[in-house]
A and B are shown apart, each in its own frame.
Chain A
Amino acid sequence: MRWIWIDRILELEHARRCVAIKNVSLAEEMVHDHFPAAGNRPATPVMPNTLIIEGMAQTAGILVGHANDFREKVILAKISRATFHDVARPGFCLRFEALIDRIDSNGASTSGSVTLLDPADDKQSKLADIELLFSHIDKNMSGLAFPEHNFVFGQQFKDVLRQSGFDSP
């Protein structure tokens, strides 16, 4: 299974904003046991909120990495706030929009929203608000050695950028 929770990047404004989408599919393993049938209750396949946060972390992480031309190793340091208003069922599309609130050599804070898009009637509704904090690990982990190469932005992220029509590092 590929650990990538966005399908395509739609917009990428340098050091400001990134928009990505993900289609939730019934074929994905993550909905098979979340939640299974129990007693009289039928199975209720729903994308786990933790993975929706991961999708936002990947959207915002690419935005923060892109802001420094992918020279920094950007890791998610803290989920400052995550508020969910609805659930994401298979057959719906998630639209992640991440904005950089603040960035410096130590890291960045981002805020963002996740919108639920219903292909049946093109209706949109708010799914979640997610604020994250990212750290540039080479600046904040003095004494710890990390590989020279940028292992955070590996081939999978490069592929997503390239397939979405953006220059990849």
Chain B
Amino acid sequence: MTVTQEEVFDKVRDVLVDALGADEEEIVSDAKLVSDLGAESIDFLDIVFRLEKAFGIKIEQGEMIPDNVLQDSQYIQDGKVTDTGMTELRARLPHADLDEFDASRDVEEFSDIFTVNTVVKFVQSKLGDQ
């Protein structure tokens, strides 16, 4: 059975409401998880666990959010992601829109790539793989 984008969005919205204590109206497609919805690092673990439960999928560590790229010195120089780092991020995050981030490459702004839509696209790609 194919799950529509709307159905995925509705479930993702419920997950984010529960995990972040956000209001339903705040969960719009381009809302940024950290700067708009107040997510902290531990919330991402919560979100991953809840997505697994809601969609019956298995998400490996670092799959939705790569956990070792920004700590790797070959990918980061002077607080900016290098060309090699961007290539790695694009390979690891096919569900994210990295074009805006590519303009600044500032590590401090990395969390902004995680929007509600990023999560929806990630779940859709996982459901498509099943």
Contact = CB atoms under 8 A, between A and B. Distances in A.
Given A80-B19, A81-B18, A101 B53 contact: yes
Main secondary structure of the interface of A (DSSP, over half): strand
Contacts of B84: none
B42 A109 contact: no
B109 interface: no
Contacts of A140: 41-42, 45
Nearest to A131: B18
A133 B18 contact: no
A133 B46 contact: yes
A78 B43 contact: yes
B18 A109 contact: no
A145 to B, nearest CB: 16
B61 interface: yes
Given A77-B45, A133-B42, A133-B45, A102 B53 contact: yes
Contacts of A167: none
Contacts of B7: none
Contacts of A101: 49, 53
Interface of A: 77-78, 80-81, 101-102, 104-107, 109, 133, 135, 140, 142
